[in-house]
Homo-oligomer: A and B are copies of this chain.
Amino acid sequence: MELVRFDSLSLYDRLSQHCADQPDKLAAVTGDTRLTFGELARRVDGLISVLLDRGIGPGDRVLWLGQNSHHIFELVVACIRVGAMVCPVNWRQTTDELKFVLADWDPQVVVWQEGQIGDHLAELRDGRDVDDQRNWIPVDGNDGYEALVADGATGHSFARADEPISAGGLALYTAAFSGRPAAALLSEQGLYAQGVTHIPVLESRPDDVNLVVTPLFHVLSWVALLPVFISGGINVFIPRPNAEEICRAIAEVGATTGPLMPQTAMQVAEFNADGRYDLSGFRSALRVRGWRDMTTPGTTVGGYGQTETTGPILLAAADSKIGGPIRGRPSPIARVRVVDEHGDDVARGEVGEIVVAGPTVTTGFWNRPELTAERLRGDWWNTGDLGRCDEDGVYTFIGPNRRMIKTGGENVYPAEVESCLEAHADVKSAALIGLPDKTWGQLVTAIVERKPGSSLDAPALIADAQTKLAKYKAPRAVHFVDEMPMTAGGKDYAALDAQFGGGNYPGSH
């Protein structure tokens, strides 16, 4: 079977180069597993054989049901090499949400890791149709990923087809503005170009050891991982944020860099208050300054980007200030404009929608032609975010042009949560607001108008929501109102914010 022609900037080629040059150099670590570039390359070759054996090729889809590990990196390199697309699932979601992803992404192959997806997995697997033709591959076990990859990694050579295709890539679910998540498809060209461009931004060096602790279903984890991989450094995968594992990765494996969510950093500081681990080799505070802002509004010099642009496309201006708004100049590989509702450039200093073109822009949303057409107009990607270009040519990110709540680094889209709450038999109307919180940025708070005669209480509604939504999306508090305040445009969020103390929305300052 022929493989698709890889682009001249290929993750597989870079891995092959590292393998040829430094086969014995450490490349990836997950827990007790330590892989050199030689081992990683052989495993990827084995995985490619497995994928080809199962008929996986251009346009096909693979789902990773697991947390952070070298496996998902191997899957990305191998899947793109055969022209397929791979999606690391957001394992924080509920069983219902995971079922939605499984149905929507509709993968030919599901690779799953026991214990990580927890109780959901049994239901996902056992609840599937009897004629489910998917390949379900556990990581461990006799017929598992590890065994298959070892079998596949025998000598083989791949022929190349003449035509490059754009089908292969990384898929990340994002932005439920419309009430349901959609998978943004990121091309290898964009991922690779973003990786090279971020070598100076993150000051990546071949001797870097990058801590991959933010989840790999977030684009920023890839933006941090790729420059280090391309430079020949080490990536240390931490399955999920855990203060002790992070401390050990720094003190014992020598992690030097990597993004940490503020709450994770605080947990690490608390855990290591007695200084039992030497964390002095970690210089993340410096290294993440380019994009800490993207996870915590208004706290750093930051860059601006989104999943659909493969991360940062405005890089922090030299005069950006910590605590100020996100200001930046167009990345060397991005074209950026600010436009009005007709797509025309607004006057300098005026607020409009940020639109972006260039190799890092998503090729579209999987299975969402209408949403893709709405957002991708010609070369230009409509970010749905408001911005402004000032006299000095520096762009300022103002905020989403639709309401969004940010809690613990996660985006919560009111439409998605409200539609869940309103599906409850006792709820007539629900409005989601965010209350400022020192640790989490905002706390998700629901304002609810019950149906006449209902005696639904807050704990019951919250408990119900937690069965249907990822924990971070479910409201922490519910307040009941007799009648939902409305404006001509819909629910009167401004009035609700004023009444219940909402604030600290992304972009507000």
Residues of A at the B interface (CB closer than 8 Å) are 8-9, 13-14, 16-17, 20-22, 25, 193, 195-197, 199-200, 203, 205-207, 230-232, 318, 329-330, 332-333, 335-337, 345, 357-359, 379, 389, 392-395
Contacts and interface: CB of A to CB of B under 8 A. Distances in A.
Contact of A357 (B8, B332, B337, B357): B8
A368 to B, nearest CB: 22
Nearest to A8: B359
A286 to B, nearest CB: 16
B393 A196 contact: no
18 contacts: A8-B379, A9-B193, A9-B359, A13-B335, A13-B357, A16-B335, A17-B330, A17-B335, A17-B336, A20-B337, A21-B329, A21-B395, A22-B393, A193-B196, A196-B196, A196-B197, A230-B332, A232-B329
A224 to B, nearest CB: 16
A329 B196 contact: no
B21 A389 contact: yes
Contacts of A199: 200, 332
A231 to B, nearest CB: 7
A21 B393 contact: yes
A8 B187 CA distance: 13
Contacts of A330: 17, 21
Contacts of A8: 333, 357-359, 379
Central interface residue in A8, A20, A193, by most chain B CB within 10 Å? A8
Contacts of A17: 330, 335-336
A329 B206 contact: yes
A25 B196 contact: no
Nearest to A6: B379
A8 B392 CA distance: 25
Central interface residue in A16, A197, A231, A332, by most chain B CB within 10 Å? A332
A77 to B, nearest CB: 15
Contacts of A357: 8, 13
Contact of A332 (B16, B196, B203, B207): B196
A507 to B, nearest CB: 21
A11 to B, nearest CB: 11
A193 B199 CA distance: 13
A90 B311 CA distance: 43
A197 B195 CA distance: 10
Nearest to A358: B8
7 closest A-B pairs by beta carbon, nearest first, are A21-B393, A22-B393, A200-B200, A8-B359, A196-B332, A230-B332, A199-B200
B393 A25 contact: yes
A320 to B, nearest CB: 13
A206 B200 CA distance: 13
Contacts of A21: 329-330, 389, 393-395
